[in-house]
Amino acid sequence: MKGLDSKVVIVTGGGGGIGRAICQRFATEGSKVAVLDRDQAAAQATVDKIVGAGGTAIAYTADITNYQAIADTAEAITNDLGLPTVLVNNAAFDRFMPFLKTEPSQWDQLIAVNLTGALNMHHVVLPLMIEAGGGKVINIASDAARVGSSGEAVYAACKAGLVGLSKTLARELAGKGVNVNVVCPGPTDTALLKDVASTASNPDKLVEAFRRAIPLGRIAQPDDYPGIIAMLASDDANFITGQVISVSGGLTMAG
């Protein structure tokens, strides 16, 4: 990909399934990867894989719901690696339950990570990106944001909020050299999907129902995403902003 060599890339949730695959891809492109995760061991495992393969990455342990922790982490990343010019907001979690059975305390937890966490990251990192002369933000939402998903009301609301945030920032920052785009995964073979399925009455049946709804006939793997994300971070995407792209085997086909 054009223009990714030596770029400083921050990936939140970089210790998780999709996040790790994204971090590894940026490292193979020659980027310097800040692997940010609240799970220290998971972030370090991603770094160990990258460094073992000859790449450059550092693990940063922080909770994206904590604004000050993110501000401190961004400062550390800038000192260690340089000003970030690519941000992938990927950290999230989900719980599967009909909305009318949920409690407000559960909404608060979902909103804190899936929406406020992304707000914190944008608010802290975008000034650094502007100082660097511009950059690329790729927000990982979900097809649940585009078409809804039974059992995931608050998660879907947060992800739809992330889409609205992305389009707004794409407009506000277009004159500052910052492009903001969204990638929407569908059901993917990661811990998140296992967690979601485990809260259903019949986990295997739920995953099989997801699979049957996907025209390409399989649950996604983490490696299905890094290609489009690296492209959206590259110079080939300099004229792409405010767009929402589903990578979900045809699960949704938005016009």
Ligand X SMILES: NC(=O)c1ccc[n+]([C@@H]2O[C@H](COP(=O)([O-])OP(=O)(O)OC[C@H]3O[C@@H](n4cnc5c(N)ncnc54)[C@H](O)[C@@H]3O)[C@@H](O)[C@H]2O)c1
Give the single-character DSSP code of 117.
H
Nearer to ligand X, 1 or 183 (CB): 183
Contact criterion met (CB below 8 Å) for 75 and 128 = no
32 is a site residue for ligand X (CB under 6 A): no
The least distance separating ligand X from the CB of residue 123, rounded to whole angstroms, comes to: 15
Q: Can you tell me the distance from the alpha carbon of 151 to that of 148, in angstroms, rounded to the nearest whole number? A: 9
84 is a site residue for ligand X (CB under 6 A): no
Nearer to ligand X, 67 or 177 (CB): 67
65 is a site residue for ligand X (CB under 6 A): yes
The least distance separating ligand X from the CB of residue 161, rounded to whole angstroms, comes to: 13
User: In the numeric block, which tokens belong to residue 209?
Assistant: 């129902």
Nearer to ligand X, 5 or 195 (CB): 195
The least distance separating ligand X from the CB of residue 90, rounded to whole angstroms, comes to: 5
Q: Can you tell me the distance from the alpha carbon of 10 to that of 154, in angstroms, rounded to the nearest whole number? A: 26
7 is a site residue for ligand X (CB under 6 A): no
CA nearest neighbour of 95 among 153, 37, 145, 141: 153
Q: Which residue has the tokens 């009909």?
A: 98
The least distance separating ligand X from the CB of residue 177, rounded to whole angstroms, comes to: 25
Q: Select the span of 26-34, 89-97, 126-134, 172-180 touching ligand X (CB under 6 A).
A: 89-97
Q: Can you tell me the distance from the alpha carbon of 68 to that of 85, in angstroms, rounded to the nearest whole number? A: 20
CA nearest neighbour of 7 among 20, 17, 28: 28
Amino acid residing at 232: L
Among 34, 154, 165, 192, binds ligand X (CB under 6 A): 192
Q: Can you tell me the distance from the alpha carbon of 42 to that of 19, in angstroms, rounded to the nearest whole number? A: 10
Q: Select the span of 1-9, 32-40, 96-104, 119-127 touching ligand X (CB under 6 A).
A: 32-40
> The sheet that has 135-140: what strands, in order across it?
56-61, 32-37, 8-12, 86-89, 135-140, 178-185, 244-247
* Number of residues binding to ligand X, judged by CB under 6 A: 30
* Contacts of ligand X in 119-148 (CB under 6 A): 140, 142
Residue 87 CA, chain-centre distance (Å), reads 9
The least distance separating ligand X from the CB of residue 232, rounded to whole angstroms, comes to: 15
Nearer to ligand X, 117 or 226 (CB): 117
User: In the numeric block, which tokens belong to residue 129?
Assistant: 């990106």
Contact criterion met (CB below 8 Å) for 18 and 35 = no
For the question of residue 60 being annotated catalytic, the response is no
Contact criterion met (CB below 8 Å) for 6 and 32 = yes
37 is a site residue for ligand X (CB under 6 A): yes
Catalytic one of 60, 67, 155, 225: 155
42 is a site residue for ligand X (CB under 6 A): yes
Among all residues, which ones are annotated catalytic? Answer: 155
Residues near ligand X, by CB under 6 A: 12-13, 15-19, 37-39, 42, 63-65, 90-93, 113, 117, 140, 142, 185-188, 190-193
